[in-house]
Structure 1
């Protein structure tokens, strides 16, 4: 009698490890790195030529911590950072953590509409901002909204006398006060708020603890083999977990050096920084690596010091990965999957994984984390090889959404599983493929866009009677934003130029629709819901010249 076939293995994996999690706060962990590597470089800013050893960086962090205390900022207060990549961003990250202040990341692309919401919702009392970025005059935008943000007491601008005045105040606060505050902190205290969202409403403030982000940065760095010998080039934005957790904390928790190539991504500046600073690791979303590889003088850069790096944000095409490994010398490049709410990384490829695993999967579970793939309706774990919703649990799951317990309960179930909203398949070997999204989130060049937020803003246009926003394929960015609009008066149609002008200065540039489709009505389900999937299918090709 033939024995029955073995039962299929469930789509569940747990990252076991004999190495324990870190029990430090961010500040205590930095102090250990300073003590262990005082003379090694911790931070290099290529544009300004400034550089800090670990001893100098630790002293600068404590000086800024004293300066914040002198301004009346105290444990549990929220300090916002609205700036491009620069050394001051990093100093604010570690100084706030040192004294138990919660840093709130504000996207540099935000305009008045979005800035006001974040300032009000998080209750930021002090905002540190750049003076300007691209077409944004930050001071003018702050002045526009500050009267509607009662908690905001002060704004300090980097590169302005207000920054010098802030740091000068450090002299009035003894170092003992910083040390005493630091000693009272718990690794489970909140330390960071990052705004993200589902497909409805405004962004939600994912609240992350020291334990969340310090351990995630540490394990991402450990998985690519970081030591104090590594120099990590970070062209990715600090306001994302990619930059501040996987980058900054991934480096400092191993005594490595952070290298800032430019305030925002520039392919030539990135490769120049790798060459000049002898970087061993380089981060980016696939579109960044494509831009670097496509530079006319790419072959002139000496990238032989590179050995590893991290790609995340979207899948990497096979041919691009081949060139990154062969021509950029990144034989140990790693793919990561995560979300802000999980600090961010849950899955990661390993240094010795083959090309197929690096391009077709997002890796396998990291140590001390659990993942499973479930039927999104019943919540039961599906067999390996079957598609379902990816869920994750462990030290990395956020504390919750800032002051939104109901939305927190929608995302994290009673078993503390984070519901990612992504459709995934777990292979027999435990590696995971992402095959789609349950939610309607649009990912444009690594930026997450939430249609409902854009729709709610566009409803304010006088010509728009109804609007649905969907993502459609784009050769360069992966997806682009399409606004499907029913106008109030067919005799007075809306143009794409009018729509974009309405968004200018109010929405971040990547959220502004690049395509417009005028419709008489939307396809609906029997229950009266708009069939966004049909809109995506129907208009997922370039529009006709008349826009209809």
Structure 2
């Protein structure tokens, strides 16, 4: 029997492949062939020259940057062939992010597996494909994907409406072109920003600022609490009071406000200690898996008004 040997085949070593990033190649091609046709969407009749995609890539890149996408982060595209797919691909290259392709024909368990294993933090998706409801499936998949923090829907009217409303645009984008995301962040010693909350979520209790995330992280250490969300509710004397919505580790157990209050005493400032407590089975979520704090605030306000 003849001895088996490994074999290989490769092309010529000369000329060496260029050491060039996708981002650099796109910019170079746009400069060399600005008026040549680069992308055609037959279904809608949209056409781009090479100069146009290079400019249009900047918009989704800025949007992803506003979502705190950093080099090495995973961004998934869950869509059929469309121009937004191509633009997102180049946008991730601009940021140094990793593009993860998700088959648009996948159903709930399949995208959840891909998103979880790849550690995807942002999902760019069509709302639906054929008979599949991507919104519903993404909401379900988000519960199994801890890294996933945002879903951006291709063609979703709400995502484009801001561009058509100058007043709202002026609120978010200042005259120098800086977009104000509404995030609260601190600069870490390693030079990275750590998001610690949202400006609109800050509770002003008797003139003191209470940051819900700080209270939430502390209450997470309570042995009976599996999850917690903190919101502000109207108060006649102090302006706002602190209300905690909690999910218990044991659904059959009970918890009243006195126990968390005692747990906070001496370990958390009095201003930050929740005055109200609501035990719930879960929290209302967006399609991207983010908690709808507005709904929690409304729920608490209605309960207190009774």
SS at match of 1:13: coil
Matches within 5 A, 1:243-322: none
Q: Measure the CA separation in 1 of the matches of 2:25 and 2:85.
A: 18
Seen in structure 2, the aligned counterparts of structure 1 residues 79 and 73 have a Cα distance that, compared at 3 Å, is same
> Could you say which residue in structure 2 is the equivalent of 1:103?
99
Deviations 1:313-360 (A, max 9, x none): xxxxxxxxxxxxxxxxxxxxxxxxxxxxxxxxxxxxxxxxxxxxxxxx
> Could you say which residue in structure 2 is the equivalent of 1:501?
none
1:89 is aligned, of 85, 90, 95, to 85
Pairing 1:123–2:129 present: no
Shift of the alpha carbon at 1:139? 0.6
Seen in structure 2, the aligned counterparts of structure 1 residues 58 and 166 have a Cα distance that, compared at 3 Å, is farther
**Contact in 2 for aligned 1:68/1:166 (Cα 8 Å):** no
> Could you say which residue in structure 2 is the equivalent of 1:50?
46
Q: Measure the CA separation in 2 of the matches of 1:14 and 1:113.
A: 39
SS at match of 1:108: coil
SS at match of 1:125: strand
SS at match of 2:100: strand
Shift of the alpha carbon at 1:37? 0.4
> Could you say which residue in structure 2 is the equivalent of 1:138?
134
Query: Please, what TM-score do these two structures have when normalized by structure 1?
Result: 0.29
Seen in structure 2, the aligned counterparts of structure 1 residues 138 and 12 have a Cα distance that, compared at 3 Å, is closer
SS at match of 2:9: strand
SS at match of 1:14: coil
> Could you say which residue in structure 1 is the equivalent of 2:56?
60
Seen in structure 2, the aligned counterparts of structure 1 residues 32 and 134 have a Cα distance that, compared at 3 Å, is same
1:172 is aligned, of 146, 168, 178, to 178
> Could you say which residue in structure 2 is the equivalent of 1:75?
71
Gaps of 5+ in 2: 164-168, 180-306
Deviations 1:424-464 (A, max 9, x none): xxxxxxxxxxxxxxxxxxxxxxxxxxxxxxxxxxxxxxxxx
SS at match of 1:51: strand
Pairing 1:39–2:39 present: no
Shift of the alpha carbon at 1:14? 3.1
Count of paired positions: 166
Structure ranking higher on relative contact order (CA contacts 8 Å, 6+ apart): 1
Q: Measure the CA separation in 2 of the matches of 1:153 and 1:162.
A: 18
> Could you say which residue in structure 2 is the equivalent of 1:28?
24
Q: Measure the CA separation in 1 of the matches of 2:162 and 2:141.
A: 22
